[in-house]
């Protein structure tokens, strides 16, 4: 694993963990844009959403379940965004699939 998220997953870069199991790590974003800003990262190195294969679909469902759990724990289950960027043209800067759970304030797109 060569991305910053790979190094965080390996424990080589510190992070504030919110959730972890064998397949998923969730951490506090170091540059939050809202009171709740959690990054949900599959431990499997998948570069972007377009690279998700049929074998990864159970993992994607588990990520949604983790997002729901964290949203409830943080009290934002009534209004939050779960976002990912796919490719440089969409603003992706770290090419390890990850999702932003953002909430705790009124959000506009």
pLDDT range class, residue 106, cuts 50, 70, 90:
confident
Q: Which residues, other chains included, contact 50 with Cβ-Cβ below 8 Å and sequence gap of 6+?
A: 86, 87
Q: What is residue 49's DSSP assignment?
A: G
Q: Tell me, yes or no, if 100 is annotated catalytic.
A: no
Predicted local confidence at residue 89, as pLDDT: 94
Whether residue 108 has pLDDT greater than 80: no
In this prediction, residues 20-42 reach a mean pLDDT of 97
In this prediction, residues 3-12 reach a mean pLDDT of 95
> Catalytic pick from 37, 96, 98, 100?
98
pLDDT range class, residue 105, cuts 50, 70, 90:
confident
Encoding tokens for residue 12? 């080589």
Q: What is the pTM of this model?
A: 0.95
Q: What is the mean pLDDT of the chain?
A: 95
Q: What is residue 75's DSSP assignment?
A: T
Q: Which helix H or strand E contains 64, and what residues bound it?
A: helix 57-73
- How many angstroms separate the CA atoms of 27 and 72, rounded? 16
């Amino acid at each position: 694993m060569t991305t910053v998220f790979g190094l965080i997953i390996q424990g080589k870069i510190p992070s504030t963990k919110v959730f972890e199991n064998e397949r998923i790590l969730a951490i506090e974003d170091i540059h939050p844009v809202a009171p709740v800003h959690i990054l949900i990262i599959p431990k499997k190195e998948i570069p972007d959403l377009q690279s998700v294969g049929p074998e990864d679909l159970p993992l994607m469902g588990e990520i949604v379940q983790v997002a729901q759990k964290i949203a409830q724990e943080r009290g934002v289950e009534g209004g939050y965004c779960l976002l990912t960027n796919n490719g440089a043209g969409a603003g992706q800067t770290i090419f390890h699939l990850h999702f932003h759970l953002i909430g705790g304030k009124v959000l506009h797109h």
